[in-house]
């Protein structure tokens, strides 16, 4: 299976901003957002289900405790009747028989005392559980009310232009990640790094009269066919100025990538490509880069000759590990390979 490192930066930013608008709702993954967006009331249903489970547990506990209290009361009543008869008898007899009956009385009194203590404990537990049930139902009412408010906020927020723009970018990167995951599901030598943030402070890199301090890469795919730095765009409408900007952006990505990794990775093995998830972007004729739609990705990479062995791939991954270890990559919970001390150290640091 293809290995996925990190999360989409656009998805992470989108979810952080989305959750910032909510009072109680928390969306942890883009998959959760898709479910929520398609059916916002799903949060109410899931919260209601959780409270219903708690309600059932407390209700069963209450029923069981009431049964225990009833049984204890019946036993105490039975013992009290026996004691009454024993008291009447012990007054009429003497000698050894009197001592035997008195011993039975003492045993019954001791058993009654134990049952009374047990009953008191059951009654205390019953009061506690009943209080918890009342609190649970109050929380349920309050939580569902707050969720309803959050849903209204979301319905208002989703019509915002900035929200739609952020969502489009997040969905584009999410779609590329899921597409590559599905595309190379059976290929263990395909590795996708997401949201690689290259800190170039102090390297004195200048690009078109601008000093660079960082450069974020949407995705880096390392596989037998080479190293593909993927810039994702999910534009439905391509602005004229945007076309020029994206061409410059691809040039900058290639420039920074080669400056940072050029002495460790053969730049002939590396290629910057633009992958679009909506309308295909036709780059200027002078552009050195390739623009393809997401549906063309499999054939584009598949047509490339094999240029890297498994050992080559591991060597290249080791080049990236110091950058991943600086926390620029997000979660590494999906890492499924071992690369000696580097990956061991990385995994320990991320748990």
Structural domain contains residue 2 = no
Structural domain contains residue 18 = no
Structural domain span for residue 138: 42-156
pTM, 2 dp: 0.74
- What is the domain count for the chain? 2
Q: Whole-angstrom Cα distance, residue 183 to residue 162? A: 31
User: Is 152 in the same domain as 245?
Assistant: no
Structural domain contains residue 109 = yes
Structural domain contains residue 204 = yes
Q: Measuring CA to CA, which residue among 195, 284, 210, 220 is closest to residue 247?
A: 284
User: Is 150 in the same domain as 208?
Assistant: no
User: Is 90 in the same domain as 197?
Assistant: no
Q: What one-character DSSP code corresponds to residue 327?
A: I
Beta strands in 180-332 (DSSP E): 191-199, 206-207, 210-211, 214-223, 226-233, 270-276, 290-293
Q: 307 phi and psi, to 5 degrees?
A: -125, -10
65's tokens: 């405790």
Structural domain contains residue 288 = yes
Q: Measuring CA to CA, which residue among 228, 220, 226, 233 is closest to residue 194?
A: 220
Q: Check if the beta carbon of residue 277 is closer than 8 Å to that of residue 159.
A: no
In tens digits, the chain (351 residues) has pLDDT values of 889 988 899 999 999 999 999 999 999 999 999 999 999 999 899 999 999 999 999 999 999 999 999 999 999 999 999 999 999 998 888 889 999 999 999 999 999 999 999 999 999 999 999 999 999 999 999 999 999 999 999 999 988 989 998 999 999 999 999 999 999 999 999 999 998 877 665 566 667 766 555 578 899 999 999 999 999 998 887 776 777 788 888 988 888 888 888 888 888 899 999 999 988 888 887 788 899 999 999 999 999 999 999 999 999 988 887 776 554 443 333 333 333 333 333 333 333
β-pair partners for 271: 228
User: Is 191 in the same domain as 294?
Assistant: yes
183's tokens: 């595309």
Structural domain contains residue 32 = no
User: Is 49 in the same domain as 135?
Assistant: yes
Structural domain contains residue 63 = yes
14's tokens: 């989108």
User: Is 199 in the same domain as 123?
Assistant: no
């Amino acid at each position: 299976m293809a290995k996925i490192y990190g999360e989409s930066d656009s998805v992470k930013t989108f979810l952080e901003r989305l959750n910032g608008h909510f009072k109680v709702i928390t969306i942890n993954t883009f998959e959760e957002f898709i479910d929520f967006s398609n059916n916002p009331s799903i949060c109410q249903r899931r919260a209601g289900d959780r409270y219903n489970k708690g309600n059932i547990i407390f209700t069963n506990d209450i029923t069981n405790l009431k049964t225990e209290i009833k049984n204890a009361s019946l036993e105490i009543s039975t013992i009290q009747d026996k004691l009454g008869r024993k008291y009447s008898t012990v007054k009429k007899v003497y000698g050894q028989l009197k001592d035997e009956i008195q011993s039975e009385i003492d045993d019954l009194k001791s058993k009654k005392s134990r049952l009374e203590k047990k009953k008191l404990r059951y009654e205390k537990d019953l009061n506690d559980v009943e209080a918890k049930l009342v609190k649970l139902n109050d929380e349920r009412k309050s939580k569902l009310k707050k969720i309803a408010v959050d849903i209204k906020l979301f319905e208002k927020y989703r019509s915002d232009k900035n929200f739609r723009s952020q969502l489009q970018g997040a969905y584009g990167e999410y779609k590329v990640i899921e597409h590559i995951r599905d595309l190379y599901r059976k290929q263990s030598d395909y590795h996708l790094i997401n949201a690689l943030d290259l800190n170039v402070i102090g390297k004195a890199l200048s690009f078109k009269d601008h000093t660079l301090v960082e450069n974020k890469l949407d995705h880096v795919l390392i596989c037998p066919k080479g190293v593909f730095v993927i810039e994702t765009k999910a534009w439905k409408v391509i602005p004229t100025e945007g076309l020029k900007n994206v061409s410059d952006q691809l040039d900058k990505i290639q420039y920074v990538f080669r400056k940072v990794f050029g002495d460790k990775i053969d730049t002939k093995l590396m290629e910057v490509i633009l992958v679009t998830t909506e309308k295909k972007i036709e780059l200027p004729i002078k552009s050195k880069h390739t623009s393809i739609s997401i549906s063309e990705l499999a054939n584009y990479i598949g047509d490339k000759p094999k240029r890297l062995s498994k050992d080559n791939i591991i060597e290249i991954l080791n080049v990236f590990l110091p950058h991943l270890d600086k926390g620029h990559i997000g979660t590494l919970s999906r890492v499924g390979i071992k690369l000696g001390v580097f990956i061991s150290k990385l995994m320990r640091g991320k748990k």
